[in-house]
Amino acid sequence: MSQEVTKEFNIDTVENAAATPDVELPWAELGLKDNEFAEIVKILGRRPTAAELAMYSVMWSEHCSYKSTKNHLRQFGAKVTEEMKKDLMVGMGENAGVTDLGDGWAVTFKIESHNSPSYVEPYQGAATGIGGIVRDIISMGARPIAVMDPLRFGAIDHEDSQRVVHGVVSGIGGYGNSLGLPNIGGETVFDPIYQGNPLVNALAVGALRHEDLRLANASGVGNKVVLFGARTGGDGIGGASVLASESFDDTKPSKRPAVQVGDPFAEKVLIECCLELFKASLVEGIQDLGAAGISCATSELASNGEGGMQVELTDVLLRDSTLTPGEILMSESQERMMAVVTPENVEAFEAVMAKWNVEYSWLGEVTDTDRLIITWKGEVIVDVDPKTVAHDGPVYDRPYARPEWQDALQADTFKSSSAGQNLPATGDDLKAAVLELIASPNMCDKSWITNQYDRYVGGNTALAAPDDSGVVRIDESTGLGVAIATDANGRYTFLDPYAGAQLALAESYRNVATSGAIPAAVSDCLNYGSPEDPAVMWQLAEGIRGLSDACMVLGVPVTGGNVSLYNQTGDKPIHPTPVVATLGKFDDVARRTPSGWREEADGQAIYLIGTTKDELDGSEFANLRGHLGGVPPVVDLEAEKELGAILINASRDGMIDAAHDLSEGGLAAALTEMVLRFGVGARVALDEIKERDGIDSFTALFSESQARALVAVPRSEEVRFKDMTSARGVTVARLGIVDAQSGSLEIQGEFTASVDELREANEGTMKKYFG
Amino acid sequence: MSTELPLIGDYSAPSNELSGARIGVVTFPGTLDDRDAARAVRAAGAEAVSLWHADTDLQDVDAVVIPGGFSYGDYLRAGAISRFAPMMAKIADAANSDAKLPVLGICNGFQILTESHLLPGSMIKNDHLKFICRDQLLRVENNQTAWTNGFEAGQEITIVLKNQDGQYVADEKTLDELEAENRIAFSYVGWNPNGSRRSIAGVSNKAGNVVGLMPHPEHAIEVGFGPDARGTDGLTFFTSVLTHLVGGKK
């Protein structure tokens, strides 16, 4: 029997569905709950066809519908002031948010997860994560200008980390490097909690002129609907709904076929092709095909436009001629876009496709019927109100509750634990602890990873990892540009879900300000366990509440993002990990501040801004000792704002030559990173801060108190710098000076470590494990 | 919507042409560094002219840069498909003609030039099998080419290296010839980052008008947007060809 016969056998028309109400449908296998299936039947007034069932099942999945989080995510839209909305051109809900940069420029950015696919098939999972987020940026009418990757892996010495780390890093490099987009930063964290659930988040940023802004809507009755780019194949069927909407479990079969396969060359050509379409104003609306493929693109375009669309599904170009209509509708084949084109522009559109050798097929047109009609050889197989597919999915108020163990966890502080006894106190012990810290998996040099990414392409990269944020120039004539930093601390958020989310924002805000940019917008990727676990749901609710409250105080709106749930193995969830990306504006990136001092900074004064408290719970040092308990460092958003203002003003007025924020690993990490950035030593003393803040040398070096930064101030600027900080009522201490001759970091009265010694410790770890 | 506004780094951005020279920059499907190469051309004071791989008109350019990237995804062998582009046939003819059109191939451009037999040898995967992006120290071995005359012989320069297939290979006879004829244009200093034979980073043809190298001079032309050391050694490649065109040093 030929495949063709099998395919025809599967055609289930609307007429047939109405006539055969009692046919058994595999709705449970497609991930729908019984109440959801009943709702679909109610909406349609009959049983769905096989194709309709496929569409609803993917669009109503957790990944696509945000059904567990919608009620909570509303806070991001509600907790906004008029001031915060001033520069916001497009807010949440579109493919990516758009922020005004001035001079007619705008910037769009978004962070997304590709966690589950990256565990199943690390190379392709990570690669297609980059591909998907880049297409979101193009869909807004923007030219993508940079990417970033916050990563979380299991234990560095776990056998499976070899497979995952090598696969993910080469996947990001293999795909991203082929697109001509500089990879300007991210973070890498190792923790056994992510062993079976690595987090692979991907961020892309794009720039556009105001008038080039595009939205995903199908307007203009009679306009043509076209699908272009790669052909549709069997890869990724059910990828979004199946993989990202349930937990991994040893008892289930491999999900490998559900992972999409990427073709970066096709994506690169698609980018250039789309930009040429935008430049010539050839498309009315455009939508990328990501999760849920054609189901998503047709239903979203139709429901955001005039409300109707007619599509002939046999016109879709296929890689595999045996695909059923349902499979075609669900396929998550990469490198595809759908656009709406006026009849007059059809010829010009086809000329652009021919120039770039991109395949396309005209599928149908925009109607005003308020129905999305999909036919198969003329027979109607889908007849739905597109809004019910795209927007009216189920919304759940999942039960949530603070877990009973949270109190005991918070009571178990580092210093009261056995791990927190006999802390380093002598110079030798402190030196050994600093070397151990900077060689640890989380604090060690990550150039083994970043050197596999192209950070230079485009010629506009002003800062990249390991600097505090990635900085890209957008307008060559003025130097206008943006800074972006991504941060999260799963341990902090585990100890206090509300404060942890705020700490993630505080750190990324601080990083952007440290490089000299004015924080302007936020995108978040909320990585959590199963929302069906009330404790996880509580972590999530607290995280969203904490983040939205903090955004209000700092005056930065959330412009979009992504929620990734079910990151758990069995009943063991990951630490709640809200990755926060802050975007900052530069009027001229030439004034950005690097994270270390150069040789010519010899003799400059090193100041520590902010105060240091005894805050070791959840710290990297406690982590090194295998302890996790207590409460994370106190969040002080007003102090973060003041610190940010100082760093931005100091950059603008040329008062500092280097700046680095204090975060994981505290002063010890920040000092060594500044020394190692350009291999230039320093001499510092801790006496002033020890006396002023009432702490010992160990706490001074390893505490992770917030709202702090280190800066290098030229002698000629010291008076001005101190005047500014005292006028703002911010505490500073002069720790010492940059010492280019010494070739070492000296903590006076404690220890001296040569730059070579520090470098060896810092750079050896990744090579040791990954070659 | 306006269609006049340039895309970022588009060729249509104005240049401050000092020389009147027109330098072509070829774009293939999958080329990545064409905008950077065009910027470098403009920074040197020439006009950058966009050349499309499928066209056959060289537009009277005075020199050509074949920039880096992953043309056709490098899915076959790097440069193996691009060498058959109609524009490449024109470039090869002009490079071999009496006029000796200066041609610079960078990274994927170098790979396309070896595939086109304008330069000897070939590139295979880096010996460590990973993509590598770093600031790379090079020695200028031959400053007698159209693209290197602005350097001192033996000068050490820092530009950006970034590639997956950067290991230069050729048979011993070819390597001996290259050395004897002073056609090794650049070699890696310190560490050989991809296992290239005799640490070769770039070579030239006999006439010295065609030069190819794996590292990227176009990423080291502007302070603050290139190597950490903030040098602009890459700019000299582009000013060299202008000197060559006005009849300066060969």
Task: Verify whether the Cβ–Cβ distance B224 to A462 is below 8 Å.
Answer: yes
Asked if the model's pLDDT at residue A7 lies above 50, the reply is no
Task: Verify whether the Cβ–Cβ distance B1 to A170 is below 8 Å.
Answer: no
Task: Verify whether the Cβ–Cβ distance B219 to A145 is below 8 Å.
Answer: no
Q: Which tens digit of pLDDT belongs to each residue from B144-201?
A: 999 999 999 999 999 999 999 999 999 999 999 999 999 999 999 999 999 999 999 9
Task: Verify whether the Cβ–Cβ distance A180 to B69 is below 8 Å.
Answer: yes
Confidence label for A613 from pLDDT (cuts 50, 70 and 90): very high
Which residues of chain B are within 8 Å of residue A359 when distances are taken between CB atoms?
A: none
Asked if the model's pLDDT at residue B10 lies above 80, the reply is no
Asked if the model's pLDDT at residue A10 lies above 70, the reply is no
- Verify whether residue A660 is a known catalytic residue: no
Q: Is B9 on the interface with A (CB under 8 A)?
A: yes
Which residues of chain A are within 8 Å of residue B70 when distances are taken between CB atoms?
A: 177-178, 264-265, 268
Task: Verify whether the Cβ–Cβ distance B224 to A678 is below 8 Å.
Answer: no
Residue type, A172: I
Q: Is B160 on the interface with A (CB under 8 A)?
A: yes
What residue of B is the nearest CA neighbor of A461? B225
Q: Higher model confidence: residue B131 or residue B19?
A: B131
Name the minimum distance, in Å, from the CA of A503 to any CA of chain B: 31
Task: Verify whether the Cβ–Cβ distance A459 to B222 is below 8 Å.
Answer: yes
* Token pair recorded at residue A653: 């007025």
According to the model, what pLDDT value does residue A196 have? Answer: 96
Asked if the model's pLDDT at residue A419 lies above 60, the reply is yes
- What is the reported pTM? 0.94
Residue type, A122: P
Name the minimum distance, in Å, from the CA of A505 to any CA of chain B: 28
Proportion of chain A above pLDDT 90, given as a percent: 85
Q: Is A214 on the interface with B (CB under 8 A)?
A: no
Q: Is A269 on the interface with B (CB under 8 A)?
A: yes
According to the model, what pLDDT value does residue A305 have? Answer: 79
Confidence label for A91 from pLDDT (cuts 50, 70 and 90): confident
Burial of B104 (0-12, 13-18, 19+ CB in 10 A): buried
Which residues of chain B are within 8 Å of residue A209 when distances are taken between CB atoms?
A: 2, 5
Which residues of chain B are within 8 Å of residue A178 when distances are taken between CB atoms?
A: 30, 32, 70, 73-74
Catalytic residue among A114, A575, A627, A660: A114
Location of structure tokens 């199946």: A242
Confidence label for B12 from pLDDT (cuts 50, 70 and 90): very low
Substitution target in A137, A454, A766 with the highest count of B β-carbons within 10 Å is A454
Which residues of chain A are within 8 Å of residue B132 when distances are taken between CB atoms?
A: 451-452
Name the minimum distance, in Å, from the CA of B112 to any CA of chain A: 16
Q: Which tens digit of pLDDT belongs to each residue from B83-127?
A: 999 999 999 999 999 999 999 999 999 999 999 999 999 999 999
What residue of B is the nearest CA neighbor of A174? B131
Burial of A762 (0-12, 13-18, 19+ CB in 10 A): buried
Confidence label for A246 from pLDDT (cuts 50, 70 and 90): low
Name the minimum distance, in Å, from the CA of A470 to any CA of chain B: 12
- Does residue B32 sit in helix, strand or coil? coil
According to the model, what pLDDT value does residue B16 have? Answer: 53
Q: Which tens digit of pLDDT belongs to each residue from A371-416?
A: 999 999 999 999 999 999 999 999 999 999 999 999 999 999 999 9
Alpha-carbon span B33 to A456, nearest angstrom: 10
What residue of B is the nearest CA neighbor of A454? B133
The candidate with the shortest Cα–Cα distance to A248, out of A374, A154, A162, is A154
Name the minimum distance, in Å, from the CA of A47 to any CA of chain B: 45
Task: Verify whether the Cβ–Cβ distance B35 to A459 is below 8 Å.
Answer: yes
Which residues of chain B are within 8 Å of residue A460 when distances are taken between CB atoms?
A: 8-9, 225
Alpha-carbon span A336 to A712, nearest angstrom: 48
Mean pLDDT of chain A: 93
Exposure letters A573-586 (e unless 16+ CB within 10 A, then b) = bbbbbbbbbbbbbb
Alpha-carbon span A265 to A136, nearest angstrom: 17
Task: Verify whether the Cβ–Cβ distance B33 to A474 is below 8 Å.
Answer: no
Asked if the model's pLDDT at residue B250 lies above 50, the reply is no
**How many interchain CB pairs under 8 A, A with B?**
110
What residue of A is the nearest CA neighbor of B162? A454
Average pLDDT (A441-452) is 97
Query: Taking the mean position of all CA atoms in its chain, how far away is CA A95?
Result: 14
What residue of A is the nearest CA neighbor of B1? A211
Alpha carbons within 13 angstroms on the beta-carbon side of residue A146 total 29
Indicate the residue of A145, A212, A457 with minimum beta-carbon distance to B33: A457
Substitution target in B131, B216, B238 with the highest count of A β-carbons within 10 Å is B131
Query: Taking the mean position of all CA atoms in its chain, how far away is CA B130?
Result: 22
Task: Verify whether the Cβ–Cβ distance B35 to A143 is below 8 Å.
Answer: no
Task: Verify whether the Cβ–Cβ distance B226 to A456 is below 8 Å.
Answer: yes
Asked if the model's pLDDT at residue B15 lies above 60, the reply is no
Q: Which tens digit of pLDDT belongs to each residue from A104-145?
A: 999 999 999 999 999 999 999 999 999 999 999 999 999 999
Which residues of chain B are within 8 Å of residue A145 when distances are taken between CB atoms?
A: 8
Indicate the residue of A269, A452, A590 with minimum beta-carbon distance to B29: A269
According to the model, what pLDDT value does residue A6 have? Answer: 40
Alpha-carbon span A422 to A427, nearest angstrom: 14
* Token pair recorded at residue B9: 């780094």
Q: Is A455 on the interface with B (CB under 8 A)?
A: yes
Alpha-carbon span B234 to B232, nearest angstrom: 5
Q: DSSP letter at A240?
A: I
Asked if the model's pLDDT at residue A39 lies above 80, the reply is yes
Confidence label for B3 from pLDDT (cuts 50, 70 and 90): very low
Task: Verify whether the Cβ–Cβ distance A180 to B33 is below 8 Å.
Answer: yes
According to the model, what pLDDT value does residue A743 have? Answer: 96
Confidence label for A727 from pLDDT (cuts 50, 70 and 90): very high
Task: Verify whether the Cβ–Cβ distance A452 to B8 is below 8 Å.
Answer: no
Secondary structure E strands in A516-657: 518-527, 558-564, 568-569, 572-573, 577-586, 605-609
Indicate the residue of A281, A456, A459 with minimum beta-carbon distance to B39: A459
According to the model, what pLDDT value does residue A320 have? Answer: 87
Q: Higher model confidence: residue A250 or residue A584?
A: A584
Interface of A with B in 155-174 (CB under 8 A): 170, 173-174
Cα dihedral: A454, A455, A459, A460 (round 10): 150
Name the minimum distance, in Å, from the CA of A234 to any CA of chain B: 22
According to the model, what pLDDT value does residue B13 have? Answer: 46
Q: Is A590 on the interface with B (CB under 8 A)?
A: yes
Interface of A with B in 351-370 (CB under 8 A): 355-357
What residue of B is the nearest CA neighbor of A283? B1
Alpha-carbon span A329 to B243, nearest angstrom: 60
Name the minimum distance, in Å, from the CA of B72 to any CA of chain A: 6
Q: Measured between alpha carbons, how far is residue A180 from residues A134, A228, A710, A732, B36 in Å? A: 11, 21, 34, 42, 11
Render A245-269 in DSSP notation, one character per residue.
TS-B-TTSPP-GGGS----HHHHHH
Indicate the residue of A104, A174, A265 with minimum beta-carbon distance to B30: A265
**Residues of B catalogued as catalytic:** 107, 216, 218
Q: Which tens digit of pLDDT belongs to each residue from B131-146?
A: 999 999 999 999 999 9
- Alpha helix positions (H), B83-165: 86-96, 108-115
Name the minimum distance, in Å, from the CA of A4 to any CA of chain B: 32
Alpha-carbon span A169 to A162, nearest angstrom: 11
Exposure letters A304-335 (e unless 16+ CB within 10 A, then b) = bbbbbbbbbbeebebeeeebbbbbbbbbbbbb
The candidate with the shortest Cα–Cα distance to B146, out of B246, B250, B66, is B250
Name the minimum distance, in Å, from the CA of B97 to any CA of chain A: 30
Alpha-carbon span A107 to B146, nearest angstrom: 41
First to last CA, chain A: 52
Task: Verify whether the Cβ–Cβ distance B29 to A456 is below 8 Å.
Answer: no
Name the strand (E) or helix (H) holding B188: strand B184-188
Proportion of chain A above pLDDT 70, given as a percent: 96
C-beta separation of A383 from A310 below 8 A: no
Largest CA distance in chain B: 60
Q: Is B162 on the interface with A (CB under 8 A)?
A: yes
Asked if the model's pLDDT at residue B216 lies above 50, the reply is yes
- Does residue A602 sit in helix, strand or coil? coil
ipTM above 0.90, yes or no: yes
